[in-house]
Structure formats: structure tokens, C-alpha cells
Amino acid sequence: MTQLNAENSDMKESKLPRRDWILLPLISIFTIFLLAAATDLVSRTTFTPSKTGPSDCMRSYPGKGVQAIPNSVCWNKGSEGELTEYRFNNCGQRADFECKPKAANTYRIVMIGSSFAMGDRVANSDSLAALLPAELSQQTGRKVELYNQGMLWGLPHSFWLRFDDVLAAQPDMILWPTGPWDIQNATVVLPYSKSSFDKKDAHQLSSMSFTGRIRFSIGYFVRNIVPPSVTADIAQIRLMLQHYLYESQSLYIDSYLLNASDAGFLAIEPDAEWKTHLADFETYSARMEERAAAAHVPFVVVLVPNRAQAAMISMGEWPAGYDPYQLGNELRAIVTTHGGVYIDILPGFRDLPNPEQYYFPVDGHPDARGHAIIAGLIDKALITGAAPELSVANQPQAVPARDK
């Protein structure tokens, strides 16, 4: 017993050497610094966007919105994705060929739309505009070409303003791949930017809760007080963390649904804001459909799901109060009511495991694989009845040669 007490007494008396009290904190600080430096290095080398982009090849034209400068070339690397060339032809369309009068026996599709239609973040050869006509030509045996009038900020109001240009291209079909963002911004004509703290910010601040004001104040401090280089590093690290966290299907959907403004289109009962967006979209869609009908040109609309919507469809289940098919049903009613054709590709995502992997996790645009999947789904719909002139069943069959 005495021996045990003596050993305990020796243990109590043992202390860390003074140098360890200095070395251990230094090691901890060094480890934190090393991790921070490694994180910053990865974010800088992988997620740093280029200073140039496709917008450098574009101008805002009064009454027509944003259009590309003919015969211009720009390069861009987004925060996600590879360095990409944007080459615009003599008509200001992103294409590897020049605009010219339509040749005989050629079926010409003129595609309108915003950044997805233009092929943002992917090489032109990997975009819907390049893949779809190639697939249709192979499937139907006809020469199918696609004039891509898709453009950054190519939103419904903007295309209504320059619909004369669409019809002037002599289309046999007008194809409009659209998405939730297009509908949410249906009335926007020009690219917009907000100052760090404008009247809108002031209005939002006045209506915020106490905790909301604290968060807003912190964000305002980071945007306007912290040196730009530090702010940029923070933004890149945040984007990098989001990029990897959003690769988890469940985490991504939960995070997306927290933003009621963007996720409103997924609600079974859209709020007043989304009803207004839908009404605005219908206004411009109806006008374009009416003019296309007068020119005897089929007007075809397809809803391209965003990343969260595609993931929910693939999962086959979603939180109460939401339905990823809801927006498609609403668009079908809008388009068909005014004489257009609606293509439903949403069911095609049911059998795709984790289709969100074919979108850039934070940016949200489909990548090259996503464009290929969407092109295949649209191709299938067109050749199986959505476009009678392209229907495989209506194509002349080759007559086998008789044996002599």
C-alpha cells in the first residue's frame, strides 16, 4: 500500500519540461498553418477563374439585349471546369461554321436560349448545339443543321425583342431548351450588377431579423472592408469546400432547398413570386409561339432540369411539399395552350444514378457528359413523334436491290 502511494506521488510530481510547453503550441500552429496553406494552394490552382470570359466577346445592343460580336474569339476558365474557347461566327453565333443560305434538302433548327444553349463551360464540340444535329442526321438519314442563337443572358424577354433574327435564319424548327433560372429571370434584358450596398440592400436590411442583420453585417464587412486579395482567397476556399460537399446527393439537395427563392419552382404550391415568374414567362413564350405559327414554323420547348431537380428525380423521393415534376407540368400547359410543342425529358433522369454528377457542383451548368445525355434525350423525343418531319417512322426506307 505504501509503495502504491509512493508511485502515485511520483506521477503527480512529474511535469512537462518547459520546452514542451513552447514546442507543442508551435507544432499546433504550424500544423494549422500547413493545412491552411495547402487548402489555399489547392483552391488557387484548381478553382481560380480566368480574368477573361465569353462576355468579353459580347455587347449590349439597344432594344435587343446581349449579343456576341461577329467573328470574335474569347477564352475562359470558370471556377469549375477547364479552359474553354468561345468562337463566334459571322452571325455572332457560337459555331464552327459560317452562316449561309439554307441548302436544299437541309432541315435547319434554330436554337434559342441562355447560357446552357450557348454551351457555357464546355467546348463547342461537346455542346448540345453540336451533338444534337449530328445525332439527328445519323438517326434520320437527313442533313440536319443547327444554328445556335443561344447567348449569355438570352432570356425570354431578350429573345422576344430579337425574334426577327430567329425567323430570318429560315428555321424548319425553333428549339428552346429552357430552365428554372430562365423562367425566374424572364423579364431581364441586359446583364445586371449590384453595388456592394445599394437601395435594395438597405430595404432588405430594414426587414431582416436581428440574427439576419448580424449575418448581413458580417458579409458586408467581408465584401467591403477586408482586402480584396483576402476576400478572393476566402471565396475560393468556400467554393472548393462547396464543390466537394455538393458531391453528396443528400447534402446538396438539403442545402439547395434552404434557399426558398431559388427552390420555389420545386414547391407543389408555388408562392406568389414564382407565380409572377411563370406569368412573365408565359407572356413572352406566347408572343414567340404566335409569330412562329404565323411563319408555319414548329416552336418546340424543352425543360432542362437544374442540378437539384435532376438529383431529386433520380432519387425517386423528395421532402413533403416538393415535386421535381411540377415545373414541367406547368410549362407543358403554357406551351401547348399557345400552340407550341413541349418535349418532356424529365422522366429520362429516373434511371440515371446520381445525374447531378453530370453538372458542375457549384456553378450548376451541365458538363460535357450532361450535354451528351440531354442531347440524347431530346434526339429520342424528336425522332419518335415530337417532330413529324424528323420522325424515323416517316423517313423513306431504302429499297433492297433485287438479285439478278
Q: Domains along the chain?
A: 106-191+262-391 (3.40.50.1110)
3-state secondary structure the chain: CHHHHHHHHHHHHCCCCHHHHHHHHHHHHHHHHHHHHHHHHHHHHHHCCCCCCHHHHEEEECCCEEEECCCCEEEECCCCCCCEEEEECCCCCECCCCCCCCCCCEEEEEECCCHHHHCCCCCHHHCHHHHHHHHHHHHHCCEEEEEECCCCCCCHHHHHHCHHHHHHCCCCEEEEEECHHHHHCCCCCCCCCCCCCCHHHHHHHHCCCHHHHHHHHHHHHHHHCCCHHHHHHHHHHHHHHHHHHCCCHHHHHHHHHCCHHHHHHHECCCCHHHHHHHHHHHHHHHHHHHHHHHCCCCEEEEECCCHHHHHHHHHCCCCCCECCCHHHHHHHHHHHHCCCEEECCHHHHCCCCCHHHHECCCCCCECHHHHHHHHHHHHHHHHHHHCHHHCHHHCCCCCCCCCC
pLDDT tens for the chain, 404 residues long, are 455 454 455 545 556 676 666 666 767 776 765 665 555 555 455 556 778 889 899 988 877 788 999 999 999 988 888 899 999 999 999 999 999 999 999 999 999 999 999 999 999 999 999 999 999 999 999 999 999 999 998 999 999 999 999 999 999 999 999 999 999 999 988 764 444 334 444 444 444 455 554 555 545 544 454 445 444 555 555 666 676 678 888 889 998 999 888 899 999 998 999 999 999 999 999 999 999 999 999 999 999 999 999 999 999 999 999 999 999 999 999 999 999 999 999 999 999 999 999 999 988 999 999 999 999 999 999 999 999 999 886 666 544 444 43
| Set of cell numbers at residue 69 | 460580336
In 3D space, the residue among 374, 272, 265, 260 whose CA is nearest the CA of residue 323 turns out to be 265
Task: Give the pLDDT score at 215.
Answer: 52
Alpha carbons 87 and 378: distance in angstroms, whole number: 25
| Set of cell numbers at residue 248 | 453528396
Alpha carbons 219 and 14: distance in angstroms, whole number: 49
Alpha carbons 221 and 217: distance in angstroms, whole number: 6
Q: What does the longest C-alpha to C-alpha distance in the chain come to?
A: 117
| Set of cell numbers at residue 26 | 508551435
Alpha carbons 81 and 170: distance in angstroms, whole number: 35
Question: Distance between terminal CA atoms of the chain?
Answer: 115
Task: Give the pLDDT score at 60.
Answer: 84
Q: pTM for the complete prediction?
A: 0.79
